[in-house]
Amino acid sequence: MKTLFASDRKFALWSFNASHRQLILRSNPDRIARTVTRVEVYFGHVEFMSVRPSYSSLRISEADQGEITEIAARIPDGLRPGGTYLLGRDLRSFVISAKPAWREAECDFDAPSLFDFPA
């Protein structure tokens, strides 16, 4: 299992656009945790997901073949194309999608997403 991203910050499921199959997990600035930046993790071409509404920390890793086989057995229509990415240390939370990307920047709470692509 190869770790792609890890953070001890709190993350929340911020948005999912079904028509574009895009998922964003966000960690906003937090005065108590003394963070001043926003971090967003973007998953494009989402084929299937099993995610929680929030995470006290976030670790994204590529699933190995054994984990992929176990996840595929739980998906009603079988495994779809795309990478399988675990969100944590177990198989309860995962996304099947293109490879995730992340960005971090200082911005206001109500500023557009760091992945807000102009039309």
61 φ, ψ (degrees, to nearest 5): -135, 155
Per-residue pLDDT of the chain (119 residues; tens, 9 = 90+): 799 999 999 999 999 999 999 999 999 998 888 889 999 999 999 999 999 999 999 999 999 999 999 998 888 777 777 899 999 988 999 999 999 999 999 988 888 999 987 65
Q: Which residue type does 56 have?
A: S
Q: Is 72 within the bounds of a domain?
A: yes
**Is the separation of the CB atoms in 25 and 58 below 8 Å?**
yes
Q: Is 110 within the bounds of a domain?
A: no
Q: Is 117 within the bounds of a domain?
A: no
Q: Is 15 exposed, middle or buried (0-12, 13-18, 19+ CB in 10 A)?
A: middle
Distance CA 78, CA 68 (A): 11
- pLDDT recorded at residue 74: 86
Distance CA 43, CA 3 (A): 15
- pLDDT recorded at residue 119: 55
Structurally, how many domains does the chain consist of?
1
- pLDDT recorded at residue 26: 97
Q: Record the pTM.
A: 0.91
**What residue numbers bound the domain in which 39 lies?**
2-105
Q: Is 90 within the bounds of a domain?
A: yes
Task: Provide the 10 A C-beta neighbour count for residue 111.
Answer: 11
